[in-house]
Amino acid sequence: MSVPGLSINLATVRKQWNMREAAEACVRHGITAIAPWRDQVDAIGLDEAVRVVRDLGLQVTGLCRGGMFPAATAELRQAAIDDNLRAIDEAHALNADCLVLVVGGLPGTRDIEGARMMVQDGIEAIRAHAAQAAVKLAIEPLHPMYAADRSCVNTLQQALDMAGAIGPEIGVAIDTYHVWWEPGLADQIARAGHENRIFAHHICDWLVPTRDLLLDRGMMGDGVIDLAGFRAMIEKAGYHGPQEVEIFSAQDWWTRDGDEVLRICIERFQSLCAARQD
């Protein structure tokens, strides 16, 4: 029994399994798509990671992550660019649908607009290589609570503005966790679709209370995000690709049996994440 439309970002089960184990578990549960992180790829080696994907016939909905462009010196910024070029090669080898860009925060300064310019410069410096490798670059706007240390791109509108400023081939990864609160979200999702920039769609839930800024994301249904309504906006915008579950959860989901986590991902995906027809 397969579960079409569902992808598992392997961060969701990073404490339970390595990449091969996680991929095999996904297949065992009928899941046909995954998104690994680069450290998970590194841990088993890129060649082995490519074999895993090919042998199991998996779709790779994204490679996490490129980005992290802002840095204090030109040398460090170049090092970030070089690392992104390697990430593009890895995404190409894995036949990933996109390379997800978590763009980076403040480079040791208090100048967020300067950081944003460094991000744009960084993406411009890697776009030719990405095009050559046929790897799509997806800017992922991150929740504003990460503006200082992870991403100075914090709304879908801002991500689309930046993508538009760089080029028509740059897209976005839309994660419910990061943008569910955004004023004017429906318009921005529609715009993203109209501009053909929706390269990935990540899901999880916002818990109340949220006990940790980074590692307390919720399973779909356990929080306050209207996931069916969100998916309806995405589909209305013309995107019908997979929903990729990405949950960082130090105290809950990372402590559970991996098969249980996948089983519940499937249940919640099937019961809660189909687009609601308003």
Q: Which residues bind a copy of itself (CB under 8 A)?
A: 106, 110-112, 116, 143-145, 147-149, 152, 154-155, 157-158, 161, 180-183, 206, 208-210, 213, 223-226, 229
Q: Minimum Å distance from CB 50 to a copy of itself?
A: 36
Q: Which residues contact 202 (CB under 8 A, 6 or more apart)?
A: 9, 140, 173, 174, 175, 176, 177, 243, 244, 245, 246
- 125 vs 147, which CB is nearer to a copy of itself? 147
Q: Minimum Å distance from CB 32 to a copy of itself?
A: 29
- 90 vs 205, which CB is nearer to a copy of itself? 205
Q: Minimum Å distance from CB 12 to a copy of itself?
A: 22
Please give the Cα distance from 265 to 257 (Å, whole number): 12
| Consecutive H or E run containing 87 | helix 74-93
Give the E-state strand segments of 154-233 in sequence order.
171-175, 198-203
- 109 vs 132, which CB is nearer to a copy of itself? 109
Nearest to 54 by CA among 111, 94, 108: 94
Q: Minimum Å distance from CB 140 to a copy of itself?
A: 15
- 140 vs 182, which CB is nearer to a copy of itself? 182
**Amino acid sitting at position 46:** L
